[in-house]
């Protein structure tokens, strides 16, 4: 009889341990499961001109049910300009990818599919700097303002405000006249 009581206590203790540790194991596996995608994101953010990385990121973002990125005119103002030059549109696409990558990376890191516009904006600022190192006369006035907000430690408040605004782009005039040359991107 004593053996049976001891066995029941061991079983109960095992069930309680599994109930307590099981959720913790699941939390630890979530970041491990996301490491390859997070590495892809980090690679893109360091090498945004790599087209394969950019395409891979968008494919991954579209295929992930555990990621929600809200793309609005307020957080992607570079898409609202009427520029037609293919180089300008390509550079704007890099910033869009940076926003998606930064927002998605933070969600994967947290393990929650809650939009993270500040992380997206920080990624845009990073890629914007890389773009300007290769194409110095490429400009997005709103991103320049974000850079100023970051320098004065106001970026979190700005990002919160921008993230709260939803809606489409309000069309803006082109930043560059038709046929304007931005110069050849430096290697």
Domain parsing of the chain, residue ranges: 33-164
Weakest-pLDDT range from 20-24, 45-49, 132-136: 20-24
Per-residue pLDDT at 75 exceeds 60: yes
Helical H segments across 47-85, by residue range: 51-63
158-178: pLDDT as tens digits = 999 998 887 788 899 999 887
For 26-73, write each residue's pLDDT tens digit. 344 457 888 889 999 999 999 999 999 999 888 888 888 889 899 999
pLDDT digits (tens, 9 = 90+) for 91-100: 999 999 999 9
Residue 66: CB partners within 8 Å, gap ≥ 6? 107, 108, 113
Spatial distance between the Cα atoms of 31 and 159, rounded to a whole number of angstroms: 25
**pLDDT for the residue 186:** 62
pLDDT of 13 reads 36
> What are the residues whose beta carbons fall under 8 Å from the beta carbon of 81, sequence distance 6 or more?
88, 92, 172, 173, 174, 175
* The model's pTM: 0.80
* Angle of the 51-63 helix axis to the 86-110 helix axis, nearest 10: 50
At 169 the pLDDT is 87
């Amino acid at each position: 009889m004593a053996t049976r009581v001891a066995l029941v206590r061991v079983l109960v203790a095992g069930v309680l341990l599994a109930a307590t540790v099981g959720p913790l194991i699941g939390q630890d596996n979530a970041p491990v499961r996301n490491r390859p995608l997070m590495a892809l994101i980090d690679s893109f953010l360091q090498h945004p001109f790599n087209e394969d990385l950019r395409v891979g990121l968008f494919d991954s973002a579209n295929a992930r049910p555990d990621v929600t990125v809200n793309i609005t005119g307020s957080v992607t103002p570079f898409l609202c300009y009427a520029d037609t030059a293919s180089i300008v549109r390509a550079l704007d696409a890099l910033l869009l990818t940076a926003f998606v990558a930064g927002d998605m990376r933070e969600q994967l890191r947290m393990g929650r599919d809650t939009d993270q516009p500040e992380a997206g904006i920080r990624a845009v600022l990073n890629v914007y700097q890389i773009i300007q190192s290769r194409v110095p006369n490429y400009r997005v006035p709103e991103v320049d303002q974000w850079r100023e907000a970051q320098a004065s430690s106001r970026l979190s408040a700005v990002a919160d405000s921008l993230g709260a605004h939803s809606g489409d782009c309000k069309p803006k005039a082109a930043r560059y006249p038709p046929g304007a040359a931005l110069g050849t991107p430096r290697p």
